[in-house]
Amino acid sequence: MDVDDKLQDMNLSGFFHDIEDLRRRIYPQIGERDFVHLKRFEWYGRLASLFGYLTCWIVINPFSAFGISYGQCTRWIVAHHVTHGGYDKVPNIPQRYTSKYFAQGWRRFIDWFDWILPEAWSYEHNTLHHYHTGEAKDPDVAERNTKYLQELPLPRLVKYLLLFLVATSWKITYYAPNTMSVLDPESGKRLRSPNTLYLTFGNIFDFSRPQVRRLWMLCYLPYGIVHFIIIPLLFFPLGKAAVITVFANKVLAECLTNLHSFITIVPNHTADDIYRFDYHYDNRQEFYLHQVLGSTNYQCGSELVDYLSLWLNYQIEHHIFPDLPMLKYREIQPEVKSICDRNNIPYVQENVFRRLKKMADVCVGKTKMMELQWFPQKQSEGVANVPLR
């Protein structure tokens, strides 16, 4: 479609000026309170990990696995907001909580040791995804990335089951190779989109490719050796049975952390009521609008719900202002929603499991996302080409 009828009544000028006013007010409010909240969130994850590892040798069970899983999820989300620069503006912030130093070099093994290489994630997610949301250059458009699944000559139920299997391993089969694809395999420098050959599950065993060798050396082997060999062997003094039990709980935890992160991340930008864009925005006003039309929120507002949602339930606010601390998204969410409502901007918010179903329907080919091929030029007249960052 060109422009959906429901978008014709948008007050873009009012929307832009309201969001800019919010921007001017919220950034000066970043302070010590945000850092205290980050530390509390970080400790939730540490306590979950501690519980998981203290009990994982006793018997194979979902509780220990969930503790380990949640600790891993927490480290990813801390990394997500810190690498975005969400805490760079906090006065006297410790250096390691700034985007310049977090998880860099040897600190990767302390701050965020996962299947994903931090510098690859930073470019793939923070730049390509956030500043090309729903566009051709966005590497995380699930509808495009699941085209093969949509076209498989299989019953739809089987496709849903295949999608579930992907969800339990997606950091390994999707995110690690996808993020490594955007870095030059020789220099490690960022690649521009025309030169990017994306790695997929179909070619991650082709060791003739330098990208594949780098993926295994920097992502798969370090994480796999530490988490599935070294950590279980640390429990050897408790007996061989303890080693096997720890290994089994680690595998279960890996499935859970993949599934949990998949549920909270992928539905954020994929459904039949969310837009993709066949063009790139021209100014900050259009950028703001893209982030609202191309994103969805989940239920939010309480510490428990926000923590279980990994603070990804404020996706609209996060995409409008990617470099805010987590706590600020809760504070501004009611105002952003009010701004959208009074300016007739579609603001999508729904229970995470309903969003999951809508995402899955798109991925198996039952439904399709909406598309905008162009933006009404008259709506953008008079808006300055203000730099985004």
Residue 383 pLDDT: 44
Rounded alpha-carbon distances, angstroms, from residue 130 to 190, 257, 258, 278? 16, 23, 22, 16
172-192: b or e for each residue (b if 16 or more CB lie within 10 Å)? bbbbbbbbbbbbebeeeebbe
Neighbours of 327 (CB within 10 A): 21
Q: Are 241 and 232 in contact (CB under 8 A)?
A: no
Quote the pLDDT of residue 375: 73
pLDDT at 26 over 50: yes
The helix, strand and coil proportions of the chain, stated in percent and rounded to the nearest 5, come to: 60, 5, 35
Which sequence spans correspond to the domains of the chain?
Answer: 5-376
- 203-227 residue pLDDT tens: 888 888 888 899 999 999 999 999 9
Local structure of 191: helix, strand or coil? coil
pLDDT in tens, 150-203: 999 999 999 999 999 999 999 999 999 989 888 876 666 766 655 556 667 678
Distance CA 87, CA 78 (A): 10
Percent of the chain with pLDDT over 90: 81
For residues 235 and 306, give the distance between their C-alpha atoms in angstroms, rounded to a whole number.
Answer: 34
Cβ-contact 182, 196 below 8 angstroms = yes
Tokens (6 digits) for 333: 């969410």
Under DSSP, the state recorded for 190 is: B
Grade residue 7 by pLDDT with cuts at 50, 70 and 90: confident
pLDDT at 377: 52
Longest C-alpha distance within the chain, in Å? 72
C-alpha dist (Å) from residue 74 to 60, 231, 284, 321:
22, 19, 31, 21
Spatial CA neighbour of 71 closest among 43, 36, 99, 98: 43
Residue pLDDT, tens place only, 114-127? 999 999 999 999 99
Task: Dig out the tokens for 114 from the structure.
Answer: 């996962």
Let me know how many helices (H) and strands (E) the chain has, helices first: 20, 2
Predicted TM-score (pTM) of the model is 0.91
Ranges of H-type helices in the chain: 12-26, 32-55, 62-83, 108-111, 118-121, 142-145, 147-151, 156-167, 170, 176-180, 210-215, 221-225, 231-233, 240-265, 284-293, 303-308, 315-320, 326-342, 352-363, 377-380
Neighbouring-strand partners of residue 183: 190
According to the model, what pLDDT value does residue 384 have?
43
Tens of pLDDT, residue by residue over 76-98, are 999 999 999 999 999 999 999 99
pLDDT of residue 81: 97
7 closest CA partner among 375, 384, 380, 388: 375
Q: What is the mean pLDDT of residues 303-330?
A: 96
Q: Is the pLDDT of residue 322 over 80?
A: yes
CA–CA separation, 248 and 230 (whole Å)? 14
If DSSP codes are grouped into helix, strand and coil, which group holds residue 276? strand
